Amino acid sequence: MQEVDVLVVGGGLSGLAAAVAAAASGARTMLLERGSALGGNVSQAYVHTFCGLFEAPGNAEDFVYANPGFTPWFTEGLRKQGAACAPEVHGRVAVMPVYPPRLAEYAYAISRDFPSLSIQLNATLERLTMDAAGAEKAVAVYRQQGVEKSVAAVTVIDATGDATAGALAGAAVVMPTAEQLQNATLIFRVSGANRADLSGYSRLRISAAIARGAQQGELPAMCESIFIRPGELQDEAYISLNLPKWKDRVFAPLNEQFLVEYTAYAHELAHSLTVFLRKHVSGWAECHLLSWPAAIGIRESRRLSGRYVMTEKDILSGAQRDDVVARSTWPVELWHDHYHATFQYPEAVCDIPLAALLSQSHDNMGMAGRCMSGSNEALGALRVLGTAMATGEAVGIAAALAVDQGVTMAQVSAAAVRACRDDLINTTFIQP
Ligand SMILES: Cc1cc2nc3c(=O)[nH]c(=O)nc-3n(C[C@H](O)[C@H](O)[C@H](O)COP(=O)(O)OP(=O)(O)OC[C@H]3O[C@@H](n4cnc5c(N)ncnc54)[C@H](O)[C@@H]3O)c2cc1C
């Protein structure tokens, strides 16, 4: 059986950051990703904007990165490749548009620069045996293109978004109720978009035409809430179709059968929308579906119980802590219907402690990104991509330090993680 120091499960941006940081800190690291590309929700669900990168509401135009290290290194690297655009100010926050297919390619390219990092694509974790006290190595069984394989690891990082590794290992997890879970969105790509309608207030013309079409019965009623952004090609656009929960069926994003049926329903709505744009909106006669995403965009599902649970109050008050390892800046953004999100803005940047990235029950398990430890409301802020990368980097360093020091992850100090990250900033995560 293959042996590694750090096993990262999930190749979204939190998992990528964790794996690169662990490998850069000297750990033999393996990353398992069930999809055929790195990037998680970016490459699989076409999420195409980085939120939570920059400091300070109120200071949005300064574009000061809230977290040093992997996040600016990776993001600025993307921009240099033309895979991400200049930041844009949207009201009180700043975001950075990215091009999903280009991001997946860049993520793979940088991972190859770390000889102690092994990336396994099309590799789905199926079983994980782990001793809660961290005295024994964990054994993970995964399936890669039909072949069952196994790997032993000292430490494990759950970056699956759904706390799948934690659940398989019997770690303490939290599953919100169907009512608490945020609504999902299908983001799809079209060609033949009228470029003039893709920026500023002109975008409202399309949203208004679609809302009118739904009211007048030319479109299914549930198509009424969309958002549209330009893609990389001249006539390409991303359309985000916000989906209602079904009235007669429990919203169950971890249930495969539910997801199959819900995705088919979403595709049907998106098809109607494309036909409507082509037939009824001037300048869109050539609009055609370019591609569906590999997966519908699920904002929230299961998460791990951590040694600290981030709260809405932490986020909104800008809580400061001595054991900080990453920082959160995004507002509490909650999608509790398909019409719109609610936003609550923080007073200041909020500190994330290492304890929110460590499993409450398993001493050698950490987590990052969408399945880190927090309340539903806190995760409305913490789940965004800028914060996912920063938490991934921190927990990847903690996992590597535990191996290096011969202790469990639960015994690693936040100060040691910060010191190691400062070293990486000088040696590896040098700004391009
Ligand atoms: C519709 C939608 C719109 C969003 N808009 C934005 C936005 O504009 N800006 C922003 O910053 N954020 C946005 N987000 C949030 C953001 O996309 C996610 O929270 C972010 O992707 C979290 O990253 P992650 O690495 O934690 O998880 P994910 O991106 O979900 O990655 C998890 C990875 O784990 C893999 N995986 C899961 N199970 C297994 C297994 N058993 N074995 C191996 N691999 C496994 C998955 O294939 C996936 O690649 C949006 C999310 C959604 C759904």
Residue 408 CB–ligand 1 contact under 6 Å: no
Instruction: Give the per-residue pLDDT at 60.
Output: 59
CA of 12 to the centre of ligand 1 (A): 6
166 and 200 co-located in one domain: no
296: left (phi over 0), alpha (psi -120 to 50) or beta: beta
Are 8 and 152 members of one domain?
yes
Question: What pLDDT was estimated at residue 338?
Answer: 86
How close is the Cα of 15 to the center of ligand 1, in Å?
10
Pairing of strands 332-334, 342-344: antiparallel
Residue 57's pLDDT is 54
Question: Are residues 329 and 415 located together in one domain of the fold?
Answer: yes
Q: Is residue 115 part of a domain?
A: yes
Q: Does residue 94 line the site of ligand 1, with CB under 6 A?
A: no
CATH of the domain at 222: 3.30.70
The answer to whether residue 55 sits within a structural domain is: yes
Q: Is 11 found in the same domain as 140?
A: yes
Query: Is the C-beta atom of 367 inside 6 A of ligand 1?
Result: no
Q: Is 384 in the pocket of ligand 1 (CB under 6 A)?
A: yes
Say whether both 197 and 122 belong to one domain: no
pTM passes above 0.85: yes
Pair (307, 411) in one structural domain: yes
> CA-CA distance, 347 to 86, in Å (whole number)?
25
Q: Which of 291, 310, 330 is the last residue of a domain?
A: 291
DSSP state of 247: S
Our CA angle for 157, 101, 38, nearest 5°, is 15
222 and 135 share one domain? no
Domain presence at residue 85: yes
Probe target for ligand 1 pocket from 43, 122, 160, with the most ligand atoms within 8 Å of CB = 160
Q: Confirm whether 15 is domain-assigned.
A: yes
Query: Given 248, 272, 291, which residue is the final one in a domain?
Result: 291
- Ligand 1 pocket, 242 CB below 6 A? no
Where a domain ends, among 291, 311, 336?
A: 291
Residues 339 and 388 occupy one common structural domain: yes
**Rounded distance from Cα 410 to ligand 1 centre (Å):** 25
Residue-level pLDDT at 92: 87
Residue 432 forms part of a structural domain:
no
The answer to whether the beta carbons of residues 154 and 364 sit under 8 Å apart is yes
**Minimal-distance CA residue to ligand 1 atom 35:** 10
Atom 21 in ligand 1: which residue has the minimum CA distance?
41
Quick one: 55 and 135 in the same domain?
Answer: yes
Same-domain status, 232 and 325: no
Nearest CA, atom 7, ligand 1: 49
| Closest C-alpha to ligand 1, atom 2 | 297
CATH classification at residue 405: 3.50.50.60
> Distance, CA 183 to ligand 1 centroid (Å)?
14
Assess whether 352 and 316 both reside in one domain.
yes
Q: DSSP letters of 248-276?
A: SS---TT-HHHHHHHHHHHHHHHHHHHHH
Which is it for strands 173-174 and 288-291: parallel, antiparallel or unpaired?
A: unpaired
CB-ligand 1 contact for 214 (6 Å cutoff): no
Ligand 1 pocket residue status of 15, Cβ below 6 Å: yes
When divided into structural domains, the chain yields a total of 2
pLDDT tens over the chain, length 432 residues: 999 999 999 999 999 999 999 999 999 999 999 999 999 999 999 999 999 999 965 565 678 999 999 999 999 999 999 999 999 988 889 999 999 999 999 999 999 999 999 999 999 999 999 999 999 999 999 999 999 999 999 999 999 999 999 999 999 999 999 999 999 999 999 999 998 888 877 788 888 889 889 888 889 888 888 989 999 998 999 999 999 999 999 999 999 999 999 999 999 999 999 999 999 998 999 999 999 999 999 999 999 999 999 999 999 999 999 999 999 999 999 998 888 899 999 999 999 999 999 999 999 999 999 999 999 999 999 999 999 999 999 999 999 999 999 999 999 999 999 999 999 999 999 976
As a whole number of angstroms, the distance between CA 407 and CA 364 comes to: 9
Long-range contacts of 62-66 (CB under 8 A, 24+ apart): 63/87, 63/94, 66/327, 66/328, 66/329, 66/349, 66/386, 66/390
Could you tell me if 239 and 306 lie in one domain? Answer: no
Burial category of 218 from C-beta neighbours within 10 Å (exposed 0-12, middle 13-18, buried 19 and up):
middle
> Pick from 110, 111, 116: which is nearest to 28 by CA?
116
Question: Ligand 1 centre and the CA of 100: distance in Å?
Answer: 12
Atom of ligand 1 nearest to the CA of 370: 26
Cβ–ligand 1 contact at 269 (below 6 Å) = no
Is the residue at 304 inside a domain? yes
Distance from the alpha carbon of residue 177 to the mean position of ligand 1, in angstroms: 20
- Choose which residue among 41, 43, 90, 162 to substitute to test ligand 1 binding: the one with the highest number of ligand atoms within 8 A of its C-beta: 41
| 25 alpha carbon – ligand 1 mean position (Å) | 24
Residue 250, domain extent = 185-291
The answer to whether position 401 is within a domain reads yes
